Structure 1
Amino acid sequence: MFHQSWVPGHGSTDYEQYYAAQPGEVYRVTKYQKSYEPYVIMRRDGPPWCDERFVGYGGNKAACLFSIYLSGIDFYVFPDDFLIHQSHPYAEEARKNERKINKQVYDDFRKELCAEQIAESLRINTLHTNDMDNLRVECMKTPGVPEVVLEHLFKVEIEKKGQFVDLIKAIH
C-alpha cells in the first residue's frame, strides 16, 4: 500500500492507531511531517487557498496542507472512512524531473510562508498564543528561516513552557 512506501507523506496518519480505532473514534494527528499529504475534507470558505506555483507532479498537496497547518488548523483522522486512489498513467521520467524541481519550489515556499506568517503574527502580537503553536514548531524546523526569527521563536517557546531561560544568550 502507498502509505507504507511513502512514510513522509502518510506516516502522520499513524496507521497503528487507525487500524486499532473503535467505530466512531476520531483522533488528532500529533506527529505532523512537512511532506504530509492525506486526502482531506474542508470547507471552501475556511482555510487558506493552496499556492499555485507548483507545476506537474510533487509538492503541491503538501504545500497546501503546510499552509493550512501553519494557520493553526489541526488535522483529524476519521478511521471509519477511506478512499481508493486510482492510478493514472504518468511518465516516470517526467514525474522524476517535476519532483526534483518542485522539491526546491516547496523548500523555498516553506521558508517564504514561515517568514510571512511570523511577521504577521508579530505585527498583531499573536506569536505567543496557542493558535500559533503549529507555526512556531514547524518554522523552527524549517531550514533557511532567518536566524533572528528563529531566536524569537525559541524565546517564545521557552517562555511558553514557563522556563526562565534566556535561550538567545545560551545560543551566542
Structure 2
Amino acid sequence: MFTFTSPDITDNIQPFFVRSESTPQPDEITLATFVQQDELSELIKLVDYFPGPISAVLHIDSPSNEPGAPNPIARLHTMRNSNPKIRSQVDIHLITTPQTHRRPASSTVQQQSNLHRNLARFFSRTDFVLLLDADGSLPATDVSKSFKDYPLWMDKLRAGNVFVLPGFNDDSAPGLVPVLKASQLPREKTALLELVHNGQVVLSEKTWKRTIRNVDFNTWANQMRLSAIQNYDPYFAPSVIMRRDKMLWCPERFGNNQAACLFELYLSGADFWVLPKDFTINGGDHKEVVLTEREKTINTRLYQKFHEESCLKHARAFYAAGEWDSDRARHCRISCQKGIFEFGHKFPMIIIIIYF
C-alpha cells in the first residue's frame, strides 16, 4: 500500500476526520468506499440502503477556499448535522491534495481510486468489508443478515475467501433520465428478476464482461446456494465482501482499476463465491469518468503487463514454498498457463531461471 503514491499526498491523509457515534462489533461487515467532493449526496443514499458501519474516503482535490467555490467540508458537516444515520454509521477519512499537486477542474486525469479503496478498507473498524465502487452502485440487500443466517459462510470468509455480489444497472443510456425512480429500485431478488425480464434492468459489465461469464445470470436467477466462479476473467470487477486484513491490497500503480485488486486475490488462492440472493443496483444517475483515448491505451497496456508480473510473482512464491501442485495454487496454475502467457508445463522452470 502507498507504493506508487506521492509522499505529499500521503502526508495529507487525516484518518477518522469524522468518526461515527456508534462503535461497530468486530464481526460486522463495514461498507468501504469513497466519495467525490462534488457528490457527497451519495452518503445519504448509502446510509438509506446499508444499515451497518461505513468507512468512506473523501478526497478534496480542487481548491474550495476561493470566493464562490463550493466548500465540501462545510457541506459534509451540514449533512451530518441533519442526518442521524450519517452521524451514527459513517467514518470519513479525509485526503487533501496539496496546492502544488492540484489539477485543473477540466482535467480528465483519474483520481487514485485504488488508493482510496485501500484506505477505506484499512481504516474500517470491523474484521470484514464490503468493497463498493464509487460509481453509484448501492447494496440492495442486507448482506450482514445473509451472513448471520449462514454461519458456514462466515467460516469461508474468515478463511480468506471472497464473496461476490452480482451488480445490476438501470437500463438507461448514460446522461439520460433513469428508467427507474429511486423508489422503484429493487430491494430483493424476486423484484429484481421481474425488472430484468421486463428489460428495465441489466447485468453490469463489471460483473459479466467479455465472453467469459463470471456470473451467469440464467444460473444465478435460479440459484439457492453459493456457487464458485469458474473461468475467471481478469477484467472482473464486481462488489465483493472479504476480510479486512491478511489479504492483498489494491495495486496503486493504477488510477482506477478494481479488477487488478481482485485478480491478485484470485491468483493468491482465494476462492470467489457468488452470493445467491444479494446484489447491488445502480440507478443510472451517476456521472461516469470519461477517459481520453491516450489514457485508455496506457491503462490497457499497463494492465496487460500487470497480468504477466502477477503471474510471475505468485507462481514463484508457490514454487519456492513447495506449493505449486497444491490446491491453493490451482488458480495461478490455470490462469498463468493459458491465454496470452502460454507457459505450458514449463512455467515453474521459467520462474527459476528468471529469479535464481
Fold shared by both chains (TM-score > 0.5): yes
Measure how far apart 1:16 and its partner are.
Answer: 1.2
Counterpart residue number, 2:221: 19
Change (3 A) 1:107 1:68: same
Give 1:84 shift: 1.4
Correspondence for 2:282 among 82, 85, 88: 85
Which residue of structure 2 lines up, in the alignment, with residue 125 of structure 1? Answer: 322
User: Paired residue for 1:37?
Assistant: 237
- What is the correspondence of 1:60-71 to structure 2 with a 5 Å cutoff? 60-71=257-268
Report the equivalent of 1:152: 346
Offset of residue 95 of structure 1:
5.5
Change (3 A) 1:65 1:10: farther
Report if aligned partners of 1:67, 1:113 keep a CA contact under 8 Å in 2.
Answer: yes
Over the aligned positions, Cα root-mean-square deviation in angstroms equals 2.7
**Does the 8 Å CA contact 1:55/1:98 hold for their aligned counterparts?**
no
* Residues 10 and 38 in structure 1, CA contact (< 8 A), matched pair in contact too: no
8 A Cα contact 2:212 2:231, kept in partner: no
CA distance in 1, matches of 2:316, 2:237: 26
Contact 2:203 2:217 in 1 (8 A): no
Whole-angstrom CA distance in 1 between matches of 2:205 and 2:314 = 33
Equivalent residue, structure 2, for 1:3: 204
Question: Which secondary structure state, in structure 2, belongs to the residue aligned with residue 76 of structure 1?
Answer: strand
Q: How far apart are residue 4 of structure 1 and its match? A: 6.1
Deviations 1:85-124 (A, max 9, x none): 35532354x2654332211111111100111111111111
More helix by share: 1
Structure 1 residue 136: Cα displacement: 0.5
Q: CA deviation at 1:67?
A: 0.2
State which of 248, 251, 256 in structure 2 corresponds to 1:48: 248
Q: For the structure 1 residues 40 and 91, does the alpha-carbon distance in structure 2 shift closer, same or farther, using more than 3 Å as the test?
A: closer
User: What is the letter of the counterpart of residue 244 of structure 2?
Assistant: R
Amino acid at match of 2:209: V
1:105 to 1:95, Cα distance in 2 relative to 1, 3 A: same
Q: What is the deviation of 1:36?
A: 1.3
TM-score by length of 1: 0.73
Conservation of the 8 A alpha-carbon contact between 2:250 and 2:261: yes
Q: Which runs of 5+ in 2 are unaligned?
A: 1-201, 350-356
Whether the 8 Å CA contact 1:10–1:37 is kept in 2: the answer is: no
- The one of 211, 223, 228 equivalent to 1:28 is 228
Q: Which structure has more strand as a fraction of its residues?
A: 2
Post-superposition, which runs of at least 4 consecutive aligned residues in structure 1 deviate over 6 A? none
How many aligned residue pairs are there?
Answer: 146
Shift of 1:54: 0.8
Structure with the greater alpha carbon radius of gyration: 2
Classify the secondary structure of the residue corresponding to 2:261.
Answer: helix
State the distance in 2 between where 1:120 and 1:154 align: 10
TM-score, structure 2 length as denominator?
0.37
The one-letter code sitting in structure 2 at the alignment partner of 1:16 is N
Q: Percent identity?
A: 29
Greater Cα shift, 35-44 or 9-18: 9-18
